[in-house]
Structure 1
Amino acid sequence: MLRRLFPCVALLALGGCVQPEPQVVYVQAAPRVGCDTRFNVVNQSSYTVEQLYFSSSSLGSWGNDQLGRNVLPPGRATSYQAANQGAYDFRVVWGNGRAAELRGINVCVASTITITNSGLKAS
């Protein structure tokens, strides 16, 4: 304490002592970095897709048909956003009743689910 006051005592005779203002440093927390869970589903098959399902791999059920009353004709694409990060399972059903599935796709990495005549692929 005396060391801090000693310079002020000497300066008081000269007209005062000015203590430096404490320096305040604000640190802004880095934003949480998440992944982009948006993805496109592209129908490159020769058949119209009548049902499309995707859900978190941890759920164990498909949930609702994401196309609803719509269909996905050949050559068309549609966009979605997964509710959460992580692995997802995908299922399509064509108009002829044939189905294909793709499981365990990390939506943080894959941004396109492509429907082909031989099944589904992620990229």
Structure 2
Amino acid sequence: MMRRALPLLGLLLLPGCLGATSGYGPQSYGSQGYGSSGYGQRGRCDTGFSVVNQSGATVQELYFNPSSRRDWGPDRLGRNQLPPGRSTSYRASSEAPHDFRVVWENGRASELRHVDVCAVSTITVTRSGLRAS
């Protein structure tokens, strides 16, 4: 009876020992950080962000594209506008730094360049321009 119990006991204890020493247990996943910005770690950062209008004026057009592109691309608001006090959410198509541009309904524009979309979750439109945080 004792000879059968020892191998069984070894099988029961073995998975716990392997998980603790191999780094494959649950404790090894929750503690991995992605650095301060996460840029350059493909597929590992959240490129989602919100654009919040705190300028007191309606934003007529919104553009953003990777900084490496020479054009602004399409107006991300389309037929919509972004009134004061409102926000909208987007996801950048890549982890590369992005440039942002808004145009208010009076034609005035503001730009913000080389924003790390891995480190920023909010683009705030203010009376003095754009701010990333």
- Aligned pairs (5 A) from 1:31-70: 34-70=44-80
Between the two proteins, the alignment pairs up a number of residues equal to 96
Aligned to 1:15: none
Structure 1: gaps spanning 5 or more residues: 1-24
Q: Secondary structure of 2:77's partner?
A: coil
Which letter does structure 1 place at the counterpart of 2:79?
A: R
1:96 maps onto 2:106 in alignment: yes
TM-score by length of 2: 0.68
Give the distance between the partners of 1:98 and 1:54, measured in 2 at CA: 17
Give the distance between the partners of 1:33 and 1:99, measured in 2 at CA: 32
1:81 corresponds to which of 91, 94, 97: 91
Shift of 1:52: 0.1
Report % sequence identity: 60
1:114 maps onto 2:108 in alignment: no
For the aligned residue pairs, the C-alpha RMSD in angstroms reads 1.8
Name the structure with the higher strand share: 1
Which letter does structure 1 place at the counterpart of 2:60?
A: E
Give the distance between the partners of 2:74 and 2:96, measured in 1 at CA: 19
TM-score by length of 1: 0.74
Shift of 1:99: 0.2
Name the structure with the higher helix share: 2
Please tell me whether Structure 1 or Structure 2 has the larger radius of gyration of its CA atoms.
1
Aligned to 2:38: none
Q: Secondary structure of 2:106's partner?
A: coil
Stretches of 4+ aligned residues off by more than 4 angstroms: none
Give the distance between the partners of 2:90 and 2:123, measured in 1 at CA: 11
Structure 2: gaps spanning 5 or more residues: 1-17, 30-41
